Structure formats: C-alpha cells, structure tokens
C-alpha cells in the first residue's frame, strides 16, 4: 500500500476534466499537491477549491522547451521532494492524416508525448524509492483509430515510453503506471485542436476514472490498461 498522507504529488493538466478530479482525490487521501495547467485563471480556481493542500501553483505551456523542467523545479521549491507525479495534460485532434497541418501535428506530439517524457526525466531525481509516476495515455494506444491516427500515435508512443522507462525505474523502486482509459466524458472530444469528433458513444464518468487511477496508486498497481477501467 502507498500511504498518501503527507505525500507531495505534482499534477500536470490539473485543471482538466481528469486532472481536477484526480487532484481532488489525492487531496482526499491526504496528499499535498502542486498543480500545473495552461490557464492561470482555471488554476487559481482549482487551487482555491483544493485549499490548504495546495503546495504550489505553476501555470505553464508545456509545449515550450524548458517548461516541463521549470514546473518540476518550481514544485520541488514550493513543496519539497516529490512522492509522485501525474501527467494528465493532453490535446486531441480528429480528421484524416492528409488533412493534418504541421501545427496540429507538432502540438499533439509536443503535449502528448514529448512533454511527459521531459517531465518524467526532470522529476525522477526528485522522487525517492517508493515514489510513483502516472502518465495518461489512452485506449487508442492499444487500438489505434482511423480519423485519430496522429493522436493514436502520440499515445502509442507514450505507452511504449512508459513500458521501457518503467523497467528502468524499477531499479530505483519508482513505479510508472501507464494508464489507458477509454473515452471519458470530460469534454475533451468537444474541444479538439483540429477536426471534429466522430460519434463516440457514451463515455465513462470522469470521477470514476479518477477514482480508479488513485486506487491504482494506493494499491501499488503497475498496470492500468483500458480493461482495468471497465472491469472494476
Ligand atoms: N477524455 C477522454 O476521453 C480521455 C480518454 C483517454 C485518455 N485521455 C487523456 O487524458 C488526458 C486528460 O484528458 P482530459 O479529458 O482531462 O482533457 P481536458 O479536460 O481537455 O484537460 C486537458 C488538460 O491539459 C492542459 N493543457 C492543454 N494544453 C496545454 C498546454 N499547451 N500546456 C499545458 N497544459 C495544457 C489543460 O490545461 P487548461 O485547462 O489550462 O487548458 C488541461 O488541464 C489527456 O492526455 C487525454 O489524451 C482522455
């Protein structure tokens, strides 16, 4: 069991439909959180909601070089060494690959693949044995979807990174959980950076996904594939 009482957890994408309920559940389990998101206003509102449990508030555009490293450094300065990191930032784009423009492709890969790698690289030296990292990949890493080829590739790349880096981190006794939730009703699909969503069917409830992620942290789980979100 991982005891989150007095843990210090950095959550990136903390203002999101998944990041916010994950942050809330971490706090309910006794953790202090440092929170990061792109919108300073949304971060301020989240921090007010979470109250005294907030150790640090770091707005950042994680697409920019140096931003992930800056967020990690600022979190450690604000709240001390890290017990865990949750990377819950991300964007989605829809449409055929032939219609994909360079800026969209850059943003997908920068935020969904490169920034989490930079974040984890920066955070590991600040995590003690017993620490954890959660990265939010997606079901499309297991089952890539037409009309979401680049998004699927960004998530499959992240999952591959998680498997390999997770093996490296076992030597340091740090757990890396690659979480691959199915479609969830956070509104992400309604604010794509390009294209428009196909009919996706009813998604999971964000709070249920958040609960499952935090349960995996507490129960020392290492795997959180797509089935884990519907099986329990
Ligand atoms: N929802 C789903 O169906 C689903 C399913 C599987 C996996 N996922 C993955 O789960 C993660 C969270 O998704 P979500 O549904 O919670 O999405 P969301 O509600 O749109 O939240 C996205 C988060 O990413 C942040 N963000 C966006 N652009 C950023 C940038 N340039 N720099 C820094 N932060 C940025 C947002 O910050 P602001 O609020 O400040 O904009 C927000 O905190 C994503 O990686 C997504 O791919 C989602």
Domains annotated on the chain, with CATH? 8-231 (3.40.50.720)
**Whole-angstrom distance, CA of residue 112 vs CA of residue 110:** 6
**Whole-angstrom distance, CA of residue 24 vs CA of residue 226:** 22
Q: Is the pLDDT of residue 166 over 70?
A: yes
CB 81 within 8 A of CB 128: yes
Q: Is the pLDDT of residue 203 over 80?
A: yes
Per-position DSSP letters for 13-51, written without gaps between them: TTTSTTHHHHHHHHHHTT-EEEEEES-HHHHHHHHHHHG
Q: Which helix (H) or strand (E) holds 72?
A: helix 67-79
Largest CA distance in the chain: 50
The residue whose CA is least distant from atom 30 of ligand 1 is: 61
Gap from CA of 201 to ligand 1 centroid (Å):
19
| Averaged pLDDT score across all residues of the chain | 97
Place of tokens 């939730």: 181
Burial class (CB in 10 A: 0-12, 13-18, 19+), 74: middle
Confidence at residue 108, expressed as pLDDT on a 0 to 100 scale: 98
Confidence at residue 120, expressed as pLDDT on a 0 to 100 scale: 98
Q: What is the mean pLDDT of residues 84-92?
A: 98
Q: What is the mean pLDDT of residues 109-124?
A: 98
What pTM did the predictor assign? 0.98
Residue 183 CB–ligand 1 contact under 6 Å: yes
Q: Is the pLDDT of residue 189 over 80?
A: yes
**Whole-angstrom distance, CA of residue 181 vs CA of residue 68:** 23
Confidence at residue 200, expressed as pLDDT on a 0 to 100 scale: 87
Q: Is the pLDDT of residue 11 over 90?
A: yes
Confidence at residue 105, expressed as pLDDT on a 0 to 100 scale: 98
pLDDT bracket for residue 187 (50, 70, 90): very high
H and E: helices and strands count for the chain: 8, 7
Residue 91 CB–ligand 1 contact under 6 Å: yes
Q: What is the mean pLDDT of residues 155-176?
A: 98
Record the tokens describing residue 144, joined without a space.
């890539």
Within a 10 A sphere around the Cβ of 230, how many other Cβ atoms?
12
Segments in 88-225 forming alpha helices (H): 102-109, 115-123, 149-170, 206-218
The CA-CA-CA angle for residues 132, 43, 46, to 5°, reads: 80
Q: Is the pLDDT of residue 232 over 70?
A: no
Q: Is the pLDDT of residue 231 over 90?
A: no
Place of tokens 């690289």: 121
How many Å separate Cα 223 from the centre of its chain? 15
Gap from CA of 171 to ligand 1 centroid (Å):
30
Confidence at residue 58, expressed as pLDDT on a 0 to 100 scale: 97
Q: Which of 12, 89, 194 to mutate to test the pocket of ligand 1 (most atoms within 8 A of CB)?
A: 89
Q: Which of 23, 49, 90 to mutate to test the pocket of ligand 1 (most atoms within 8 A of CB)?
A: 90
Q: Is the pLDDT of residue 159 over 70?
A: yes
Q: Is the pLDDT of residue 24 over 90?
A: yes
Q: What is the mean pLDDT of residues 212-225?
A: 96
Q: What is the mean pLDDT of residues 195-214?
A: 95
**Whole-angstrom distance, CA of residue 122 vs CA of residue 37:** 17
pLDDT bracket for residue 154 (50, 70, 90): very high
Residue 35 CB–ligand 1 contact under 6 Å: no
Residue 113 DSSP one-character state: I
Confidence at residue 6, expressed as pLDDT on a 0 to 100 scale: 86
How many Å separate Cα 156 from the centre of its chain? 14
Confidence at residue 139, expressed as pLDDT on a 0 to 100 scale: 98
**Whole-angstrom distance, CA of residue 145 vs CA of residue 25:** 31
Residue 143 DSSP one-character state: S
Which atom of ligand 1 is nearest the CA belonging to 43? 40
Q: Which of 12, 13, 103, 115 to mutate to test the pocket of ligand 1 (most atoms within 8 A of CB)?
A: 13
pLDDT in tens, 135-153: 999 999 999 999 999 999 9
């Amino acid at each position: 069991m991982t005891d989150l009482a007095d843990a210090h957890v950095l959550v990136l994408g903390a203002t999101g439909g998944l990041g916010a309920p994950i942050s809330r559940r971490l706090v309910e389990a006794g953790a202090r959180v440092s929170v990061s998101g792109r919108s300073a206003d949304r971060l301020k509102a989240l921090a007010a909601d979470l109250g005294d449990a907030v150790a640090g508030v770091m707005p950042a555009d994680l697409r920019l070089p140096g931003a992930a490293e800056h967020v990690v450094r600022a979190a450690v300065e604000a709240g001390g060494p890290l017990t865990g990191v949750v990377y819950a930032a991300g964007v989605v784009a829809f449409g055929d690959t032939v219609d994909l423009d360079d800026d969209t492709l850059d943003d997908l890969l920068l935020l969904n693949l490169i920034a989490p790698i930079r974040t984890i690289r920066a955070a590991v030296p600040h995590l003690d044995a017993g620490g954890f990292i959660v990265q939010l990949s997606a079901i499309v890493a297991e089952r890539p979807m037409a009309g979401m080829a680049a998004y699927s590739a960004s998530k499959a790349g992240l999952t591959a990174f998680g498997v390999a880096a997770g093996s490296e981190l076992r030597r340091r006794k740090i757990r890396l959980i690659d979480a691959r939730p199915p479609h969830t009703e956070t509104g992400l699909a309604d604010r794509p950076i390009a294209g428009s969503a196909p009919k996706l069917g009813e998604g999971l409830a964000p709070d249920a996904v958040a609960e499952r992620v935090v349960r995996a942290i507490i129960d020392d789980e290492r795997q959180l594939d797509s089935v884990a979100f519907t099986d329990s």
